[in-house]
A and B are shown apart, each in its own frame.
Chain A
Amino acid sequence: MIAAVNTGDTAWMLVATALVLLMTPALGLFYAGLVRAKNTLNTFMMCVAAMGIATLTWSVIGYSFAFDGDGDLIGGFGHAFLQGVDFVPREGMTIPHIVFFAFQATFCIITTALVAGAVVERMRFVPFLIFAALWSVLVYAVLAHWAFGGGWLIEGGTLDFAGGVPVEIASGFSAVAAAMVVGARKDYGRQAILPHNGMFVLVGAGLLWFGWFGFNGGSGFSTGNAGVLAFVNTLLTPAATLVTWIILDVIRNKQATAVGAATAIVVGCVAITPAGGFISPGWALVLGVVATFPSYAVILWRPKTKLDETLDVLAAHGTAGVVGMIFIGLVAETGWNGVSDGLIYGNAGQLWDQLIAVVAAIVYAFVVTYGLLKAIGALMPLRVAEDEEGTGLDLVAHGEEAYPASEGALLVSTEFASIR
């Protein structure tokens, strides 16, 4: 039974797609603010590159691997090069197939960009582009199939509303593998490396939250109850995380930090991502509080280690993604989601399904990312030379500066004049 296209649903999904696309430049701003001034453009460019590369790989094969057929581990080639992706809705949906494709593409884009946070300030740009292209297919598309596209997790009963598995856990634990293979920045642990622009971090976080309404609210693929519930929960959970984080900051240091507040917004959004359409608004507030503590702890612990997972993708995304996935297994409520109950409502099996998904996603993302970067690293150096790292990747990789001083710049050539 092919459902007819519903105009209201389609209108919302078009908006949601644009909202999620905005999240990637927002992430670029968030990330760029956290690095040193000399690496601003390079960091943002990794996100911009993902917008190009992941869209192409998604169109060519990623979408097909994720959403063609219901193989246990991977989809088929039926939608390669967008075959059969047209105006006719997918089974059980009320939006044109191409809209569904585009919406899912934006998820692939931002997840690929997220992983970059582990390797900023040192990774060469070309190997990163190759990595982004392969990762978006081998890791993202496969896990999207498992969690959304008819793979073994969703068929086995795992609930993941908007990407706890393929987006949050995948990016977080891939980031750990990437940081291990690429190695720490030369100054890591030897010098104070400070965020160069806290305003970018705050504005980026605000725009991420804004975009996340499309991310979670669109993952019902309609304006039905699930999408609406997820939309509202996307307001509630991050707010609770934000307040809890600020209180923790004040208790620890008597000062609420701005970078901490921005991080808290992201953590809350991540936590509600898998759970958005499955838990009640009340529990969404509780999730916001609960999700704060593990991420806060990992953010404090990680810099004490040798692991230069630079922008804390593990703490913000991986950790909060795990918390959100497990929380579903505890407090999912049929009365709200019409699908399944969690442990406290009498269904312990749901918690088990969630735990299986968490473990499987962690292992798959980590192992494949590790092997992929090792393979690329065998063909070409993954990182810039030490002196180039000192100079900064904006100049080394792009020949531009984010904050150029015009004094002393001599015009060499333009379209009208060459060297005089």
Chain B
Amino acid sequence: MKLVIGIVRPEKTNDVLGALYAADIRGFSITRVQGHGGELERVETYRGTTVSVSMAEKVRFEIAVSDEFVDPAIEAITAGAQTGAVGDGKIFVLPLERVVRIRSGEADNQAITPTKDVTP
């Protein structure tokens, strides 16, 4: 099991979502984050006060997947988020020790497989 973290442009969030759905990956959470990844700083001016803004708004996907889904997840994030310009983001893959589904107590791979009994 791995935790795939993808940090992408906010405006690419929906494209990544679409690509993940297409790859049958249904479990993830997203967070709005700010960060700096070597892209150019942008300058903003407010009434004579000029500031250089080094933080860029990004969206972070956290996706827990079984091993065979690691590459599809990476491909989906890349396909959805890539523009070719500096600032497209990064993907990190971390080992995952345990996963527990709170509702049922299912553990590990069972817990990160989309559930079949969908109860609204």
Contact of A404 among B14, B44, B50 (CB under 8 A): B44
Contact of B49 among A38, A408, A414 (CB under 8 A): A414
- Chain A, interface size category, equals 20 to 34
Q: Which residues of A contact B14 (CB under 8 A)?
A: 191-192
Cβ-defined contact, B11 with A391, below 8 A: yes
Tell me the complex Cα distance, A137–B50, Å: 37
Cβ-defined contact, A408 with B34, below 8 A: yes
Cβ-defined contact, B55 with A407, below 8 A: yes
Cβ-defined contact, A413 with B50, below 8 A: yes
- The yes or no answer to A409 lying at the interface (CB within 8 A) is yes
Nearest CB in chain A: distance from B57 CB, A: 8
Nearest CB in chain A: distance from B12 CB, A: 8
Cβ-defined contact, A387 with B85, below 8 A: yes
Cβ-defined contact, B83 with A410, below 8 A: no
Nearest CB in chain B: distance from A397 CB, A: 12
User: Given A410-B52, A410-B54: A405 and B83 within 8 A (CB)?
Assistant: no
Cβ-defined contact, A414 with B50, below 8 A: yes
- The yes or no answer to A91 lying at the interface (CB within 8 A) is no
Tell me the complex Cα distance, A101–B45, Å: 37
Cβ-defined contact, B54 with A408, below 8 A: yes
**Closest residue of chain B to A193, judged by CB?**
B14
User: Given A390-B83, A391-B11, A395-B42: A411 and B54 within 8 A (CB)?
Assistant: no
| Chain B interface, number of residues (Cβ within 8 angstroms) | 22
Q: Which residues of B contact A400 (CB under 8 A)?
A: 44-46
Tell me the complex Cα distance, A330–B54, Å: 63
Nearest CB in chain B: distance from A363 CB, A: 39
Q: For chain A residues 171-203, which have a beta carbon within 8 Å of chain B?
A: 187, 191-192
User: Given A411-B49, A412-B43: A405 and B55 within 8 A (CB)?
Assistant: yes
Tell me the complex Cα distance, A412–B52, Å: 6
* Chain B interface helix/strand/loop/mixed: strand
* Binary contact track A192-223/B, C-beta < 8 Å → 1, others 0: 10000000000000000000000000000000
Tell me the complex Cα distance, A414–B42, Å: 16
Cβ-defined contact, B42 with A410, below 8 A: no
Q: Which residues of A contact B53 (CB under 8 A)?
A: 404, 408-410
Cβ-defined contact, B52 with A387, below 8 A: no
Cβ-defined contact, A409 with B34, below 8 A: no
Q: Which of A390, A408, A415 has the most CB of B within 10 A?
A: A408
Contact of B34 among A387, A405, A411 (CB under 8 A): A405
- The yes or no answer to A399 lying at the interface (CB within 8 A) is yes
Cβ-defined contact, A401 with B54, below 8 A: no
Tell me the complex Cα distance, A405–B36, Å: 14
- The yes or no answer to B60 lying at the interface (CB within 8 A) is no
Q: Report which A residues bind B (CB closer than 8 A).
A: 38, 187, 191-192, 387, 390-392, 395, 399-401, 404-405, 407-415
Q: A391-B11, A408-B36 are in contact. List 19 more A-B contacts (CB 8 A).
A: A38-B11, A187-B11, A390-B83, A395-B42, A399-B44, A400-B44, A400-B45, A404-B44, A408-B34, A408-B53, A408-B54, A409-B52, A409-B54, A410-B53, A411-B50, A412-B43, A412-B52, A414-B49, A414-B50
